[in-house]
Amino acid sequence: MTETRIRAPMRSMTILTVVCALAILASARVAAAQAGPRPGMIDGVVTDSALVPLADATVSFLGSALRVVTGPNGRFRLRDMKPGEYVLLVRRIGFEAVSFSVQLSPGDTVRPSFSLQRAKTTLDTVKVQGQQFAPAIAEFESRRKLGFGHFVTQAEIEKRNVAGLSDLLAAVPSVRMEGAWPTARRMYPLKSCPFVVYIDGVKLPVGEIDNIAMPKELAGIEVYSGAATIPLQYKPTSGSFCGVILLWTRVGS
């Protein structure tokens, strides 16, 4: 009888300990689920065409104000990044800019590598009359005077005061949007084939339109919905397309 009385409380304590442990584990799992997906990391490197690391290259994350600069070894690193798709624009003085799309999974690390080509050093003579503009916007203004495309100026962008780039482009008659902001939106000309998008003269990978840039970052937009009106230097050399959109940022201009 005495032995039985001793073992019964011990058995009860063991069961209680197991129950508490399971409760703690369940609470931890609930807390982890409420915290959302685990953040990831982007660990990249920028080099020249000979794979020599490039310091002081600027890496912009389109659609956000996030920008980083490479160190002496050409590397950049961003921790605690939310999972999702990112469009990166890499620029350095003396080199051609490039863009790249990365998909970051929960808890993952992506290691993109960018190889920049040296920019052409020969420049054409440019004559500017009247009001002076930065090179990118001077290009925008000269084409706006010809009137072959649809143009949205910085003043118009500020006046519309919309949250997403897709809302700006949805007002262009030749652009058709699918989806709703702030979820994924993709744009098409009326013929239902894709636009090719450039930002500050750099061709972008295909992605959600609101991941490219925020309206407050833009100094001008050009939309060409027909191949005949597209400026020669921006006509894609391959692939199926119906139009071109040129975005000019205030930083790039």
Q: Give residue-wise pLDDT tens across range 22-41.
A: 556 656 555 544 556 899 99
Are residues 245 and 139 part of one domain? Answer: yes
Closest C-alpha to 217, from 141, 163, 147, 143: 163
Q: Which of 88, 116, 144 is the last residue of a domain?
A: 116
pLDDT of residue 13: 59
Which token pair is 92? 């350095």
Q: What is the DSSP letter of 82?
A: P
Same-domain pairing of 200 and 160:
yes
The answer to whether residues 191 and 221 belong to one domain is yes
82 lies in the same domain as 139:
no
Is residue 101 assigned to a domain? yes
Question: Which residues lie below 8 Å from residue 100, measured CB to CB, with a gap of 6+?
Answer: 87, 88, 90, 112, 114, 205
| pTM reported for the whole predicted model | 0.62
Residue 52 lies in a domain: yes
Same domain, 241 and 154: yes
Give a yes or no: residue 110 inside a domain. yes
Q: What is the pLDDT of residue 12?
A: 59
Q: Is the pLDDT of residue 71 over 90?
A: yes
One domain, residues 148 and 71: no
Q: Cα(first)–Cα(last) distance of the chain, in Å?
A: 91
Q: Which residue has the higher pLDDT, 181 or 78?
A: 78
Q: What is the mean pLDDT of residues 222-239?
A: 83
Number of domains in the chain: 2
pLDDT at residue 166 greater than cutoff 90: no
Give the Cα separation of 37 and 5 in Å (integer): 50
**The last residue of a domain, from among 116, 150, 181:** 116
pLDDT tens digits for range 132-162? 445 667 888 888 888 888 999 999 999 998 8
Confidence of residue 5 (pLDDT cuts 50, 70, 90): low
The answer to whether residues 143 and 222 belong to one domain is yes
pLDDT given at position 74? 96
pLDDT at residue 131 in the model: 44
Residues 150 and 233 in one domain: yes
Q: Is residue 197 part of a domain?
A: yes
Q: pLDDT category, 174, cuts 50, 70, 90?
A: confident
Give residue 92's pLDDT.
93
**125 within domain boundaries:** no
Assess whether 155 and 239 both reside in one domain.
Answer: yes
Given a cut of 90, whether residue 86 has pLDDT beyond it is no
Instruction: Quote the domain boundaries for residue 143.
Output: 135-249
Round the CA-based radius of gyration of the chain to a whole number and report it. 26
Burial-class residue 157 by CB neighbours within 10 Å (0-12, 13-18, 19+): buried
Question: Looking at the structure, do residues 205 and 245 belong to the same domain, yes or no?
Answer: yes
pLDDT recorded at residue 25: 61
Residue 114: band (very low, low, confident or very high) from pLDDT cuts 50, 70, 90: very high
Confidence of residue 120 (pLDDT cuts 50, 70, 90): confident
Mean pLDDT of 57-70: 87
